[in-house]
Structure 1
Amino acid sequence: MPSIRMVGFDADDTLWRSQDYFDQAQRDFEAIIAGYVNGDARTSERLYAVEKANLAVFGYGVKGMTLSMIESAIDITAGRISGADVHRIVALAKALLRHPVELLPGVREAVQAVAATVPVVLITKGDLFHQEAKVRESGMSSLFRRIEIVSEKDVPTYRRLLEEFEVAPAEFVMVGNSLRSDIAPVLELGGWGLHLPYHLTWEHEREATLSAGDQVRMATLGSAAELPAALRSILAA
């Protein structure tokens, strides 16, 4: 096997907290809608359906979620939602965009340890301005050889990036919390995956299927502190 020449890291919910804030915003949204409906309006289910349908139009991130919230609110309330409550939904988005960057335990030390062995890159998706701000506020940007903010993390995107990096898939390891976005596409290309689960995962990111053949090139870790040893295991394979 070729030696590992590069390690990629996801950002949201791998390096810092993110889904916690999105889940709280959704709970606040559902509380707003509850004032207009009787009984179970399936608000969460209907919002996700709209978000999923809008991904190809709005992409990922806070702004796309907010537009989907407004569309869902109009639909669920049959147009009865007030301008004041639409403004409350917009305020939820602004709060999301301003939330602090809170690094997860041990990630800085883990990235530093890996970077001392092999070049590391950051590969994340979402709203460009928001992701740039989080990377900047994290204080970790200097650790990464490259920082890539992409619209989607799928096989074509990883193939393009690896070609630009001049790294073969078998020489690349991706670290992330999402099987769908961080692990499955890289395994499909022939690379390696280190899955670092987070306690919360957006429903869309749980939609992933791994073949038995792919899973032999993946390990699931309990904490960031296990990353250096996991990388050594791959190097020794």
Structure 2
Amino acid sequence: MRPITAIGFDADDTLWQNEQFYRLTEEQFAALLGDYAEGSHVSERLLEAEKRNLAHYGFGIKGFTLSMIETAIEITEGKVPAKTIAEILDIGRELLRHPVETLPHVEETLRALNGTYLLVLITKGDLFDQERKLAQSGLGDLFDAVEIVSDKSATTYRRIFSKVADGPDRAMMVGNSLKSDIVPAIAAGSYGVFIPHALTWVIEHVEAPTEAPRFRQIDHLGQLQDVLATITGE
């Protein structure tokens, strides 16, 4: 029996660019509040609001936009003009329209693995936005299953890999977030392949499980086939 029959892939900042658009939006937001606070202070307060609101709004652009509005109200002590709120909503909507920029080696790697492994897209965030990005990426036909989840945990990976594949112990998860993609997948019994991204959101930072036998790290997705070859002996 082959040791790996299914591979899960994260989407944002693993298959296509994402965080860079949030950073640009955050810069626009800080500029809007420039009369009230320094940009660094605005960013700190926004991050605090995002952390508070994850349990209420989950991950994604809508929650980010609501956190910007909440931060604007707090920083201005309730005096934020309606015009500024409208501008925040505008930059939030613009974030929903950003183009999909596929990362290097993605399409050729997925095409090379398609048909040999069961490929599963496992991503968290806003349902409509993730569906939009997948459609615009042109990669949808390369996946055997798509799972858009509210959060990623060991339970999430056990459920998904048991439902669509041969269980977590014969699966691999690939992604740029140690906290969401790698650590919980390894805890579920899967292999975890970490691909660092320069702009990974600070909330997703944890220590790499370098001592875990099923942990791997590569520089880009083009190296994934080499990792698979060392594990499967093929």
- Tell me the TM-score normalised to structure 1 length: 0.93
Percent of pairs with identical residues: 42
Residue 231 of structure 1 deviates from its aligned partner by 1.3
Residue 157 of structure 1 deviates from its aligned partner by 1.2
- Runs of 5+ consecutive residues of structure 1 not aligned to the other structure: none
Equivalent position amino acid for 1:193 in 2: G
> Number of matched residues?
234
Residue 46 of structure 1 deviates from its aligned partner by 1.3
Equivalent position amino acid for 1:163 in 2: S
Partner of 2:22: 22
Partner of 1:133: 132
| 1:220–1:36 Cα change, 3 Å | same
**Which whole-Å deviations, capped at 9, do the CAs of 1:130-169 have from their partners, x for residues lacking one?**
0001111111111000011000011121121122124222
SS state of the match for residue 42, structure 1?
A: helix
SS state of the match for residue 123, structure 2?
A: strand
**Which whole-Å deviations, capped at 9, do the CAs of 1:5-29 have from their partners, x for residues lacking one?**
1001111101111000001101111
- Runs of 5+ consecutive residues of structure 2 not aligned to the other structure: none
Cα separation, 1, equivalents of 2:183 and 2:6: 17
Equivalent position amino acid for 2:218 in 1: L
Residue 222 of structure 1 deviates from its aligned partner by 1.1
Cα separation, 2, equivalents of 1:73 and 1:116: 49
Cα separation, 2, equivalents of 1:236 and 1:138: 32
Partner of 2:6: 6
Equivalent position amino acid for 1:81 in 2: V
Equivalent position amino acid for 1:232 in 2: A
Residue 34 of structure 1 deviates from its aligned partner by 1.6
Tell me whether 1:52 sits opposite 2:68 in the alignment.
Answer: no
SS state of the match for residue 99, structure 1?
A: coil
